[in-house]
Chains A and B, each alone.
Chain A
C-alpha cells in the first residue's frame, strides 16, 4: 500500500505529509523516483530530509538539514491557505462514498462508542491542497456509505459540491487501499473502482466497501511493489515496523 501510494507522487511536487502510512509513502517516494519531492510537515518543517523515519510528524530528524523551519501559523496561512500545497496525503478511520473522511468519532459525537484523535491538520488539508490522496485499508467498517462524522470534506457534502461550498482544492482524487485503487468520478464525485492489485477480483473489493461500487469500464492493473521498494521499506525506512505492522 505504501509502495503504491508512493508512485502517485511526482518528482518536485510540494507535499503536505500526514501522520502514519502517508509519512512512509512520502519518504519512500523521496528515496526512489522523486528525490526532489518537497516534504512539508504541519509541525513547520519545510523541505525535510529525515535521516530516520519519523515516528511522529514533529520528530527532530525533520528539522536537521531541512530548507526552512517555520511556526505553525505560517504553515497553515502562508503555505496551505496560500495554495502552495500540491498534494495532501490523508488517512482515516472511515472513508465514505464521496471521499469524506472521519477521524473524530465512531457513533454519535456526544456519546461516542470510540473517540478518535480528531482533525489535526487534516480538515484544512482536505479543503486547500490542490489534490489529496487517501490511504486506507479496505473493510466495510472503514468504508461505510456515509461516515459517522465528516472531519475532512470529500467530493460532495449532501447535495453540494466542493466548488459550491467555496473549497479551493480538488479534494480526494484517489483512495489507495490494500486491494485496489478507487478514483473520484469527475461527474458525480463518487469513488469508483479504477485499478486492482494482482490476484484481486472486483467482487473482493466490493466486499470491503459499504456501498454499491461503480467500476470504470476498463480496470487497470496495479503493479506489485518492486524488490527494491520492499527492501527499502522493510530494511531502511521502517525496520522497527512502526507503520508496516499488520
Chain B
C-alpha cells in the first residue's frame, strides 16, 4: 500500500449518554480523495470535528503524514497541516473575498505588532506575498474577479469556493471538506467536482463528507461508511455500492 497521509484509529467520543463515535478508524493514502458517507446523524461531522480539534475525543491515536499530531486545539491542527471547511458556510462575512483568503495565510506567516506598525522591509515583503498568494488561490478556485466583493454578498456557490480557497491558503497537506456540495445545483456540482480533481492534482489529499452518493462514487478513491457512530464498511466505491450493510443503512433492511 502507498504511503499514509492520515492514519487515525480507536476514536471514541461520548456526549453524555450518547456514544457518538465508537472505535472509528480511517486510513487515507497520500493523494487520494477519500469519502466519508452515512445517513443523517451517523457521526460524520462529529468525526470531522474531532480530527480538526473542535471536539476533544475520549480516546484515539492521530497521525498525519507519518507524524503524530494532537487534535487538542483547532489552530494546532491547522498548523500541523489539516485545513477544513464547514457544513454551514463560515466565512468572515464583512471582509472581502481576498481578505478572507489572506486570513488563511495567518498560520504560515509571522509578522507581529512591530512589523505591523513600522512596516519594515520584511513585513512589507511578507504582506505582499500574502496578497499575491491569496489572489492566486482565488484565481485557482475560479473567483479571482471577485476579490473586492464583501464575502457575504457572494453567491452561494462562490461562497463555497471561497471557503475552499481560504482553507487552501493554510498550505494543508490534507483538505477536509464538510458537505461542500450541499445546496448546489447540478451545474455547480459538476464545477465543484472539477475543482476537487484540480486540488487533488495539485498534490493535496482530500477527505470529503457528502450526501450525494452519485457524486461520491465517481469522485472518491476510497470510501468509509458510518452508521450510528460505527464504521460499517470501507473500500473502493464499487465495493461500497454492493455492500449489504450500506444498502440497509440507507434504504432500511428487510424485516
- A and B from one assembly? no
Please report A residues at the B interface, Cβ cutoff 8 Å: none
